[in-house]
Amino acid sequence: MITYRSIQPSDCAELGRIIVDTWQFDQFTAGPKGAGHFGQSYLLSCLLQASYTCVALREGRPVGVIVGAERRRGKRRWHWGAYFRALRHTVPLLFDRAFRKGNGEWSGYGETLAALDREVGYPFDAELALFLVDESCRGLGIGKRLYQNLMDHFAAQGVESFYVHTDTGCNHRFYEAQGLQRLAEAATHFSYAGVENVTVFVYGKKK
């Protein structure tokens, strides 16, 4: 049985593991401990300004998550608890030689996304900040349900436009199937999740 609810602190360890396994983040760290910190740090960074979270649970175990963040003036949030928890996982990564070596690649990836955002130049109401489902539970409709839950929340809050960053290391065509428009794209020299030189995209829905 699949159930859905807001994220809880007890979910973070398992969701961090799913992030590492899904996107093979262990390739950027010296070992499992570093990968665990990376997964947790990434998750918590996505929660810093979250206005909506939904976790899918199968027999009580987190198997998927979606996070939305409002960008409208007066609606933005800042979760200091997530910030300090993220720091607890980020600091050990500074001592991980493999992570430090790959950090330049991550910086270049982030700079490419920032350039695409400037190219799009649209004042979106919100962002889809994180969306993933455990590989063992794909094909059960969990992703579609999580996505619809976020869309229902956006509609209830009057959110009329939103965007999402994605790339060829993810199932980016899912967003096209949901009717989102591909607004911008760029090639990179960044490789992860078994995909060489990923292409990054901005998908979105405008008013």
CB 191 within 8 A of CB 164: no
Question: How far is it, in rounded angstroms, from Cα 191 to Cα 109?
Answer: 10
pLDDT band of residue 203 (cuts 50, 70, 90) is very high
Q: Which residues of 23-59 are buried (b: 16+ CB within 10 A; e: fewer)?
A: bebbebbbeeebbbbbbbbbbbbbbbbbbbbbbbbbe
Question: How far is it, in rounded angstroms, from Cα 207 to Cα 205?
Answer: 7
Residue 83 pLDDT exceeds 90:
no
Structure tokens that stand for 53 in this block: 């979270």
Which among 39, 41, 2 has a CA at the least distance from the CA of 22? 39
Which among 88, 96, 92 has a CA at the least distance from the CA of 31? 96
Q: What share of the chain is helix, strand, coil (3-state, %, to 5)?
A: 45, 25, 30
Looking at residue 33, its pLDDT comes to: 94
Who has greater pLDDT, 68 or 105? 68
Looking at residue 105, its pLDDT comes to: 79
DSSP string of 56-105? EEETTEEEEEEEEEE-STTT----HHHHHHHHHHHHHHTT-HHHHHHHHH
Question: How far is it, in rounded angstroms, from Cα 149 to Cα 167?
Answer: 23
pTM for this model (two decimals) = 0.94
Q: Which pairing describes strands 61-70 and 2-5: parallel, antiparallel, or unpaired?
A: unpaired
Write the pLDDT tens digit of every residue in 107-139.
889 999 999 999 999 999 999 999 999 999 999
Q: Who contacts 80 (Cβ-Cβ below 8 Å, separation ≥6)?
A: none
